[in-house]
Amino acid sequence: MTPAEIHQRLLNEFGPEVILHLHDAGIDPWIEVAPPEIARVCHFLKQTPDLGFDTLSNLTGVDYLEPDPKLQAKFPYSPHIEVVYHLFSLTQRHQLVVKVKLPRWRDDVPGKLPAVPSVTGVWAIADWHEREAYDLIGIEFLGHPNLVRILCADDWVGHPLRKDYEMPLEYHGIRGR
């Protein structure tokens, strides 16, 4: 099944207020989903037999802080955070990329992390992927069973893969720069 066919199927099931966009101009087409509905859409993608997305290959966060001229030419955007889900169906032998776009800060309050529902109830492997995105990009996954840091120390301040992150000059007596 092609991304366009899957997009149409999702539109029929959830409507345009949930299934926001099909971006099929690039090498890796993707479907944008309204953030509050991502877990429900993912459950449908996994449980519907002819879709059968039984594998979450990857989940990652991306920080789009400042417009990049090369990217702006292909798809204009304002600063935001994306969560990217790479899905695969072992039975149907097709793949899909799904994205949600979040504000850089929840309620436009600097330091208040953007939030999206967890998909750990759909794919158990999302546990580690979501913890990594939380730790490095600063995305809160609502309903995650154990949303704690996975790579940085528990007392680390900030999220090092955010584009506006400033590396500390010192951490526990160790020079950072």
CA dihedral for 14, 16, 21, 24, sign (positive or negative): positive
Which structural domain range is residue 30 located in? Answer: 3-129
- Higher per-residue confidence, 68 vs 25: 25
Which positions ≥6 away from 120 have C-beta within 8 Å? Answer: 126, 127, 130, 141, 143, 144, 145
**Alpha helices, DSSP H only, in the chain?**
3-14, 38-47, 69-74, 126-136
In a domain, 38, yes or no: yes
β-pairing, 55-64 with 30-33? unpaired
In a domain, 114, yes or no: yes
Instruction: Say what the pTM is.
Output: 0.92
Extract the tokens encoding 89. Answer: 């169906």
In a domain, 149, yes or no: no
What does the pLDDT look like over 34-84, one tens digit per residue? Answer: 999 999 999 999 999 999 999 999 999 999 987 777 777 777 778 899 999
Domain count, the chain: 1
What's 30's domain CATH number?
A: 3.30.460.80
